[in-house]
Structure 1
Amino acid sequence: MFRTNPAFHLVLAFFVGIVAGLGAVAFRRLIGLMHNAFFFGQISSRFDDLRHSAASFWGLGVVLVPVLGGLVVVWLVRTFAPEAKGHGVPEVMDAIYYGSGVIRPVVVLVKALASSISIGSGGSVGREGPIIQIGAAFGSSLAQWLRLQEWQRLGLIAAGAGAGIAATFNTPVGGILFAIELMLVEVSARTLVPVMIATGTAAFVSRLFLGDYPSFIISQHIINRTMHQSAGAYAAYVLLGLLAGGAGLLFTSSLYWTEDRFERWIKNPYARHAAGMLGVGLVIYFMITFTGHYYVEGVGYATVQDVLDGAITHPGFLLLLLLLKILTFSVTLGSGGSGGVFSPSLYVGAVLGGLYAVIANHLLPGIGISMTIAAALGMAGMVAASTGAAVTGAVMIFEMTSDYHIIIPLIIVASLAFGVRRLITRETIYTRKLIRRGHFIPEARHSNLYLMRPAGEFMETPLIRVKGSRTLADIAVLLHRGREIPHILVLEGTQPRAVLTAPRVRELLRHRQTSTPIGNFASEDWFSVPVDCQIYDLVARFRATHQECALLCRIDPPEHHEDVIAIVTIEDVLAYTSLPMRLLRPHAAQ
């Protein structure tokens, strides 16, 4: 294994930033090329995403444009790189925590091509997910080629991901925070400085080719108005934050509900995505026919700019745009497309904020909420609620709008939106995809001090005790009274016999296997530890036994099922530490 000195590691980060910046520029040009080819039959990469696209000369035939693009996307993904399907960021996180930071180089090319076709042909997805995956894949490939140490490889992946965000949105600070909140398994000078170098470099390269402009334009007179906010306006922002949190939950749930339905109803992947994109094609044809613009196709930045400009003020139309964007986004990705979720969340947040301002000013004429400011706040709230990156959402919107005076309302809305989502579920739009595979991602980066604390302090998943003869239907009735899926301790007489973990319960209920006794599904693969066992010792036991469940007990070993205080799984430990899975279960990445 090749060991680099710190200076050379920084040079590598600089190189990753250059490639990520150039990749972002090339990817945006590629989207323009695909859009012009699919919609107008032209070979040109010119495309201004802040302006609405002209109507395609295909007429009614535009309905089939997303279908054609979708078929090509499915072929590319299935033939060359299955990792390129979907929104990209979960695959990067999965590689970090479960794959030792190994991302195949082919993913760079396939993801860029598949996502540009998906977006260019009318798919209602974003461009940031692919750029994140492209930057991360290059960082991983470079580290593998040089045979760097694992922590350096993981650091370059985070640097590439942050650089991709910085380059595509012209938000270097936001890129750093994105890497910290979602990518870095260790936050220290040796990992953070390379991220800073990569994101700064990528933003600089992007500005050389695309210009130093904010992602969205807010007029100076609107910015001046934010200097003087009334107490009533701040109270209104509190409610907006709560609404954004609810919208974020709807946004996330809609995607995975749609994905489940498509996979259940249509087994063939080509037919599945073709059916979904036919629906998207019908929606965009309806919009161009009756409104004059496509509105919901592609990244949707032109519509976001319209809301920021106050060009769309009818509440009914704003509500229609919000619902149609969630629908087309969910169908595009849920049926098998390739693209990001960040831009659609910005779109939904902007429209939600604009709609909120229109209604609030109508009901309370004296409150004086700016539609532009409310739209910007809505974007931050949606990012915080859906992705879990609350700080990133607030700072990126600040960088995108170049309005410093909006920072306090941004903090309020992003924090409340994040809190609403976290109160209901700790799953984000990124981690839910991984949890469905049984791959859990930690919510926080803790110092080693946390490993010395008792394991019981970190456990939130409830525990219920049942006989093995009870069925899943019985469990479903019990859960109807509560909200959170519990771990289940299966009893034999007065003794604990087996364990059914919360993720397994969730999976079984989703597949409706309700008539079988739960004892048939439960695992006897567990060990017991005292309730005051330290996390450090618990991790050692997981590694030594290769088991995945531990019973925290008053008396070890337990003499009665009442001695069991809680069930702890590897995933529970991962949820509250920054330990990658391979440190708890070494064979997992093999």
Structure 2
Amino acid sequence: MKLSGILHRLLVWRIKHINTRDFVLILSVFIGIFSGFAAVILKTLIHYIHIFLDNAVESQGLNYLYLAFPIVGILLTVIYTQVFLDGKLGRGVSNILYEISKKASIVRRDKMYSHLISSSLTVGFGGSVGLEAPIVVTGSAIGSNLGNAMHLDAKKRQLLIGCGAAAAISAIFNAPIAGVLFALEILLVNLSVPSFIPLMIASVFGHLVSKLFLGEEILFYFLIKDNFLIGDVPYFIILGIVTGLLGLFFTRIIFSIENRAKSFTQPYMKAIIGGLSLGILIFIFPPLYGEGYYAIKAILSESPSRLLENSLFISFYSNQWMVLLFIVSLVFIKVFATSFTVGAGGNGGIFAPSLFIGALSGFSVARIFNLLKLDINLSESNFTLVGMAGVCAAMLRAPLTAIFLIAEITSGYELFVPIMLVSAIAYITASYFEPHSLYTKRLAIKGELLTQDKDKTVLSNLKIEKMIETDLSLVPIETKLGELTEIVAKSKRNIFPVINENEELLGIILLDDIREIMFKPTMYDKVKVRELMHAPPATILFEDNMDLVMKKFERTEAWNLPVIKDGKYVGFLSKSNIFSRYRRLLIKETQD
């Protein structure tokens, strides 16, 4: 029996015996398991690539090979993308947000595996990015495609995308609560309370799978040694401001470099230039190699001097101020290393870099005050952990995710108060200067962002191409009044677009414009259309988003406006038709 036949029988049986709500719960279990396995596969691939490359360096004794590894990794990623994916990888969480907003939560099938391959090549060979975004995309694709295969609607597919993302974060960090909160804060902005259950189920199963195969220590694991002291609050406030500004700096730099990288039309040349730039940075600052969790572990183990190993600055190993200067330099250079990796064509996310920057900045703030000998002794490990939450909250605009992620990886809530404080201050600081995260900034510029404002969400889901009215009678520019009268007699509309031989819109004629002369036969051959037509109040471009369309209607107070595509007339948009579709979609959106 063919697979499609089996699937059809399964669907028929499901409809008869299992309601949709319970079926989604069952699917969330499978999505959690599959996403957990995806995380295990990705971490295992990275692990063995690192072992292979480290052995090659040790056997040859050539440390400068690390200069070449990033170029190789990014080139392999670009080759894979160009050859097998036609250059369309669809990177990052922003792409998933776009597919939720504009593609009815349908994620391309190849994303269930393409991001595992491409990110393992990028990060395995030293790309200075994280694995969290690729695994979130993979989990989201698993959820979307499973929902699509089971003929679920767009809203249920969106929920299953959230399940995949929650399970992915849960599996990669060993943090099931953070996984659920990530899905809620980043992907599912309009989720109802009953929908929490599938997210929790998927997150738990993703966590169990990763724990079964990878054990307790996934990325890093730390037990809090020092208690939180009330007297440290002023310094945590300073840390909140610092991490907020760093998150803002990271967001703007990476956005700027990615935009500049788009000017390169040759993907392979871009990969070589970006990979070489990254390789040079890694050669000078080895902790930039890969995800950077080694550096965080060194800081938390109270061995910050280890970051100077295998670097050109090893002679300053015992100089505390020089070690501090090296770490502060890493904070800022990491921003450029991540930007070069992504801009050159590598695949990875900003989650791990935000934790790297947060950890090193938190340590730096505490170490500066301790070295100044101000009769205080700040816990550098506590500030390291809290700093991670601060930058994460500022960059991702997901403070709850940041708070519970750090709480879960430390196996306790001793630092809950300072983590909340710093995350809130960092979030407020970054939001004051930049309203959108790196995930949402690109979509917001294009008007494609799904927001918590239900009106805007529904409006963004309206499609211009589905509302264009083409039943208006066209009038050639050389038409005379007599011929126009015949056209009017056969038309059911009172607007008449005037076009030339190239189907370009030259103007419009309203029935009111000719009402007084259309019954005067003596003028039929004397008056031409070009003398009667006038410009429309505004024109709508086919690529305009609905927010811009409604602004044009509001500004002109018109009820009908022409639509232009590639310079040619294609039809009219009616405000009443938009309102009618808006109402139907709003009713559908509010139904659970």
TM-score (norm 2): 0.71
Separation in 2, partners of 1:56, 1:583: 64
Whole-Å Cα distance in 1 between the matches of residues 344 and 149 of structure 2? 35
Q: 1:38 to 1:549 in 2, by over 3 A?
A: farther
Q: Which residue among 203, 221, 225 is the counterpart of 1:221?
A: 225
Following TM superposition, by how much is the alpha carbon of 1:215 offset from its aligned partner in structure 2, in angstroms? 4.2
- Mapping of 1:413-432 within 5 angstroms? 413-432=422-441
Bigger radius of gyration: 2
Contact 1:166 1:200 in 2 (8 A): yes
In 1, distance between residues paired with 2:156 and 2:247? 34
- Compute the displacement of 1:548 (Å): 4.1
How far the C-alpha of 1:11 sits from its partner, in A, is: 0.5
Which digits, 9 at most, give the CA deviation of each residue in 1:90-109, with x for residues without a partner? 11111111111111111122
* Separation in 1, partners of 2:45, 2:456: 48
Root-mean-square deviation (Å):
3.2
String of CA shifts for 1:497-535, please: whole Å, max 9, x gaps: xxxxxxxxxxxxxxxxxxxxxxxxxx9347xxxxxxxxx
1:521-579 C-alpha deviation (Å, 9 max, x unpaired): xx9347xxxxxxxxxxxxxxx98x993425768x9689xxxxxxxxxxxxxxxxxxxx9
Q: 5 Å matches for 1:329-408? A: 329-363=338-372, 365-408=374-417
Query: Contact 1:80–1:106 at 8 Å: present in 2 too?
Result: no
Q: Is residue 185–residue 398 contact of structure 2 (8 Å, CA) maintained in 1?
A: yes
- Distance, in Å, in 1 between the alignment partners of 2:247 and 2:194 is 34
Distance 1:100 1:433 in 2: 19
Using the aligned pairs only, state the percent identity.
29
Query: Once the 2 structures are TM-superposed, how far is the Cα of residue 219 of structure 1 from its aligned partner?
Result: 4.5
Mapping 1:108-119, distance limit 5 Å: 108-119=112-123
CA 547–445 in structure 1, closer or farther in 2 if over 3 Å, else same: closer
- Asked if the contact 1:350–1:378 (Cα under 8 Å) also holds between the matched residues in 2, the reply is yes
Q: Which amino acid aligns with 1:285?
A: F
Q: Partners in 2 of 1:188 and 1:83 — Cα distance? A: 37
1:540-555 alignment runs, 5 A limit: 547-550=549-552
Does the C-alpha gap of structure 1 residues 369 and 107 become closer, same or farther in structure 2, counting only changes over 3 Å? same
- Once the two structures are superposed, residues 328-379 of structure 1 have per-residue CA deviations (whole angstroms, 9 ceiling, x without a partner) of 1111012211011100100000000011111122346233221111111110
- 2: CA distance, partners of 1:103 / 1:449: 22
2:68 is the counterpart of 1:64: yes
CA contact (8 A) 1:94 1:439 kept: no
In the alignment, is residue 150 of structure 1 matched against residue 142 of structure 2? Answer: no
Runs of at least 5 residues in structure 2 that lack an aligned partner in the other structure: 1-7, 305-319, 459-536, 560-580
What amino acid maps onto 2:55 in structure 1?
Answer: F
Aligned equivalents of 1:68 and 1:450: distance in 2? 42
* Cα deviation, residue 88, structure 1: 1.5
8 Å CA contact 1:130–1:340 kept in 2: the answer is yes
* Residue identity opposite 2:180 in structure 1: I
Structure 2 residue 21 is matched with structure 1 residue 19:
no
Amino acid at match of 1:440: E
Question: When the two structures are aligned, how many residues end up with a matched partner?
Answer: 453
The AA in structure 2 aligned to 1:305 is K
- Counterpart residue number, 2:252: 253
Change (3 A) 1:93 1:255: same
In 1, Cα distance between the equivalents of 2:400 and 2:253? 24
Contact residue 144 and residue 160 of structure 2 kept, 8 A: yes
Find the partner of 1:6 among 18, 21, 27: 21
Of 33, 40, 45, the residue aligned with 2:55 is 40
Deviation for aligned residue 1:152: 1.0
State which of 274, 277, 280 in structure 2 corresponds to 1:279: 277
Q: Which residue of structure 1 lines up, in the alignment, with residue 241 of structure 2?
A: 242
Question: Retained in 1: the 8 A contact 2:338–2:353?
Answer: yes
Question: Does structure 2 retain, via aligned residues, the 8 Å contact 1:254–1:330?
Answer: yes
- What SS does the aligned partner of 1:253 have? helix
Q: Within 1, Cα distance between the matches of 2:25 and 2:371?
A: 54
Q: With structure 1 as the length reference, what TM-score do the two structures score?
A: 0.71
CA distance in 2, matches of 1:162, 1:138: 12
Q: Distance in 2 between matches of 1:414 and 1:58?
A: 42
Find the aligned partners of 1:13 and 1:24 in 2 and give their Cα distance.
16
Deviation at 1:273, TM superposition (A): 1.4
Question: Which residue of the partner structure matches residue 124 of structure 1?
Answer: 128
CA distance in 1, matches of 2:447, 2:248: 21
Q: Which residue of 2 aligns with 1:524?
A: 538
| Aligned counterpart in structure 2 of residue 171 of structure 1, from 175, 179, 183 | 175
CA contact (8 A) 1:214 1:400 kept: no
**Alpha-carbon contact 2:167-2:207 (below 8 Å) kept:** yes
Q: Deviations over 1:73-123 (max 9, x none)?
A: 012222333787475211111111111111111112211100000000010
Within a 5 Å distance, the mapping from 1:454-493 to structure 2 comes to: none
Shift in Å, 1:403: 3.1
Matches of 1:425 and 1:30 in 2, distance apart? 37
Structure 1: runs of 5+ lacking an equivalent:
43-53, 288-293, 452-522, 527-541, 559-578
Q: Name the CA distance, whole Å, in 2 between partners of 1:299 and 1:73.
A: 17
Provide the C-alpha distance between the structure 2 equivalents of 1:310 and 1:84, rounded to a whole number of angstroms. Answer: 43
The equivalent position to 1:270 in structure 2, one of 268, 271, 275, is 268
Q: Which residue of 2 aligns with 1:298?
A: 290
Partner of 2:352, secondary structure, is helix
Structure 1 residue 62: Cα displacement: 2.8
Distance 1:344 1:270 in 2: 25
CA contact (8 A) 1:273 1:335 kept: yes
How far apart in 2 are the matches of 1:56 and 1:400? 37
SS at match of 2:216: coil
Residue 509 of structure 1 aligns with which residue? none
CA deviation map 1:270-323 (0-9, x unaligned): 110111111111222233xxxxxx211111101011122221253201112112
> Are residue 197 (structure 1) and residue 205 (structure 2) matched?
no
Alignment of 1:314-333 (within 5 A): 314-333=323-342
CA 58–201 in structure 1, closer or farther in 2 if over 3 Å, else same: same
What secondary structure sits across from 1:161 in the alignment?
A: helix
